[in-house]
Amino acid sequence: MVWILRILNLTLFLSSIWFFLTNPQNLKIILVAIALLFFISGIRKAFILGIDSLRGKFWVLLSLTAIFFSIAVYSDLDALHIFTRLYILLCLSFMLLGLIRQGLILKGLRLGIWLLGALISIVLSFLFFQILPTKDLITFLYLPTITLNTIVLLANLLIYFGSDLGIRWFLGFISFSFLIIGDLIYLSGNNSLAYFIWCFSYFFINLMAHIEE
């Protein structure tokens, strides 16, 4: 089954490029399709890992983001986009707290890198807020949310760095980087380009979900 999912992921990703170049107004159809593919892939991953395990529970929670994200894209409501990012923050925080309970914490150089990354994320968020043409409540809530997501994701990545799961979290970090870029473009008002970048995000998170255990 995993090969079918991989082929669908690649097909939808290539289709997003085609739609972006030829028919960008319908790009959200491909975006929702590749997001829903992640929902299926994430649930499959959770059952393979065991839904009673920490990683299994995490994948169940994370896969649901595709549903919320799809609704947000189709409704085009900023409040739902913020809710989706807050839910992603909940998922990442759940995983981080689970790792901390297992005694896995950041120390030494990794802690220093995390603090530096957190500082850079906060500064960049502040600078982007200053150059936005529109500074409303949505923007004020949106930017801190994705900044917190970045900080918590970086902590997870650094804990796993160097382990067998490190490459998977690196793919997750790439995916989230595209999500953030898409968010910033979305806040700038270019929806079609944001949809295209978000397709990259789901392509990489699907790659992460399709790695065999």
pLDDT at residue 55 tops 80: yes
Mean pLDDT score of the chain, rounded to an integer? 89
Rounded CA-CA distance 209/151 in Å is 22
Q: How confident is the model at residue 212 (pLDDT cuts 50, 70, 90)?
A: confident
User: Residue 184: what pLDDT?
Assistant: 86
Please write the tens of the pLDDT for every residue from 189-205. 888 999 999 999 999 99
Report how far apart the first and last C-alpha atoms of the chain are (Å, whole number). 14
User: Residue 69: what pLDDT?
Assistant: 94
Burial bucket for residue 168 (CB in 10 Å: 0-12, 13-18, 19+): middle
pLDDT at residue 136 tops 90: no
Domain range for 172 is 2-209
pLDDT at residue 64 tops 80: yes
User: Residue 137: what pLDDT?
Assistant: 74
User: Residue 83: what pLDDT?
Assistant: 92
pLDDT at residue 138 tops 90: no
Split into its structural domains, the chain has a count of 1
User: Residue 78: what pLDDT?
Assistant: 86
Least confident stretch, 37-46, 84-93, 181-190: 181-190
- Rounded percentage of the chain residues whose pLDDT exceeds 70: 99
Helix spans in 102-136 (H): 108-131
Length of the chain: 213
Rounded CA-CA distance 119/131 in Å is 19
pLDDT at residue 87 tops 90: yes
Query: Cβ neighbours of residue 139 under 8 Å, at least 6 residues apart?
Result: 129, 132, 187
User: Residue 162: what pLDDT?
Assistant: 72
Rounded CA-CA distance 73/126 in Å is 25
